[in-house]
Amino acid sequence: MITAVVVAGRTQGEVARAYGVSQGWVSRLVARYHAEGEAAFEPRSRRPKTSPTAIDTETVELPCSPPSPTGSVRVCARSR
């Protein structure tokens, strides 16, 4: 898609229709290419950078009950 716009000189709207995507998506890809060069062709993670509802790491390892006489502790939740 990017090369169709940048190299072949086709319009973003024309390329969007040909590939079945929105013109905004083509525009974003072309802008990314102009900003990053060849790195724009690399796949990107869709994983969020933050997770506001995630459990705090200090809370995750809290014991459910006091230690047994042998010293073992049962942990209710673990880190993923």
> For residue range 43-75, what is the model confidence (pLDDT) as tens digits?
888 888 888 887 777 666 666 666 677 766 666
Whole-angstrom distance, CA of residue 56 vs CA of residue 6: 46
| Predicted pLDDT at 18 | 95
Question: How far is residue 57's CA from residue 51's CA, in Å, rounded to a whole number?
Answer: 12
CB atoms within 10 A of CB 73: 12
pLDDT over 90 at 3, yes or no = no
All residues at 6 or more sequence positions from 1 whose CB lies less than 8 Å from its CB, including other chains: 15, 19, 21, 26, 29
Structural domain boundaries in the chain: 2-41
Question: What pLDDT shows up at residue 13?
Answer: 93
